[in-house]
A and B are shown apart, each in its own frame.
Chain A
Amino acid sequence: DAGVIQSPRHEVTEMGQEVTLRCKPISGHNSLFWYRQTMMRGLELLIYFNNNVPIDDSGMPEDRFSAKMPNASFSTLKIQPSEPRDSAVYFCASSSRGRGTEAFFGQGTRLTVV
């Protein structure tokens, strides 16, 4: 298995632009997580899905952030409009169950908003 696949690996965008991050979870996993990692706050959970349904989005910082999971093999995290403080590494992870099992992480997308 190729593991969790994220794209792009790096994204540089101007403030105010829309940014879309993509994730393909491991086949057969039914839970998907989006995390954000910064020097200031470490690894923070933004949102997670079980069976393509958003379960908890309380970690999403603002209405500018939205996430979708249209099917079991694809998820997006969108920021519109982007701001410099959104600069971070965004990780997608998947697991075979929502809790009680390890989550497998992708390589992350490093987002820089200038």
Chain B
Amino acid sequence: GESVGLHLPTLSVQEGDNSIINCAYSNSASDYFIWYKQESGKGPQFIIDIRSNMDKRQGQRVTVLLNKTVKHLSLQIAATQPGDSAVYFCAENADTPLVFGKGTRLSVIA
């Protein structure tokens, strides 16, 4: 049912460790996926994207994995830094514009 408020799942990671943020998407027709990072007081910023004909894509310190069978997306951040602290959103795109997930808050412990 409806939650009273949007309680974001929180991931706490030690500085220097790797982070893995997971996302379940809903539309099996979605063929394009994006991870966004949102810092406090700012708009979402693009991190990395992946199309449905791929299952893995790497960027600088980040990797996105796509499992279409179970409709699951993950973002891996290597050597997490304090500047990585933010809320991370996955977004999917089918016939409509980007639909955003609820987000995960990443907290980096120095």
Contact = CB atoms under 8 A, between A and B. Distances in A.
Interface residues of B, number: 26
A102 interface: yes
Contacts of A100: 31-32, 51, 93
Nearest to B98: A103
Interface of A: 4, 31, 33, 35, 38-43, 45, 48, 56, 91, 93, 98-108
Contact of B5 (A4, A39, A91): A39
Interface in B62-110: 89, 93-103
Interface string B1-36: 000011000000000000000000000000110101
A45 B95 CA distance: 14
Given A40-B5, A41-B6, A42-B6, A99 B45 contact: no
A99 B42 contact: no
Closest 5 CB pairs of A and B: A105-B43, A43-B100, A102-B46, A105-B44, A39-B6
